[in-house]
Every structure is written in C-alpha cells, then in structure tokens.
Amino acid sequence: MIIPIDQLASQTLDNIIEAFVLREGTDYGEQEASLEQKKQDVHRQLQSGNVLLVYSELHESVNLVPKDQFEE
C-alpha cells in the first residue's frame, strides 16, 4: 500500500527517511554526501513521485521503493 507523504507528520517522514539513508549498503556513488544532503535528496525524490513510501502488511514495515520497481 502506498502511503501519501503529505498525510504524515513531517517529523515522522523525516525519521523514516533518516532510517532509510542510514541503512548499510545505501550507495551514493564515488562522492560522499552528508546525512542532511542524503535526506534532502530522498525527500526530493518522494516529492517528485520518483520514489514511493510503501507499507507492507505482510512484513508490517515501511520502505522507500523506486516508482518503476513498485508492484502492488
């Protein structure tokens, strides 16, 4: 299920984004970016619709998924 980001409190969304960018294996290329830069980049992608915030009932978790990889 897709969660509309405008229905979340800003702090909740920020916490979800931060948890996502702090995961091991999140790659940002050859040039290292600060935590704040990474969070802003993910937030921009969510706002543009290129990335979706998805809730999994099966796993009872949320995840950020590229729009082109999302399957309902």
Spans of all domains in the chain: 5-23+33-69
* Cα distance between residue 14 and residue 31, in whole Å: 23
Each residue of 37-56: pLDDT tens digit?
989 999 999 999 999 999 99
pTM: 0.83
CATH of region 5-23+33-69: 1.10.10.610
What pLDDT band is residue 36 in, cutting at 50, 70 and 90?
A: very high
User: What pLDDT score does 10 carry?
Assistant: 95
Query: Is residue 18 a contact partner of residue 35, using CB atoms and an 8 Å limit?
Result: yes
pLDDT at 34 over 90: no
* Cα distance between residue 60 and residue 48, in whole Å: 25
Each residue of 1-19: pLDDT tens digit?
999 999 999 999 999 999 9
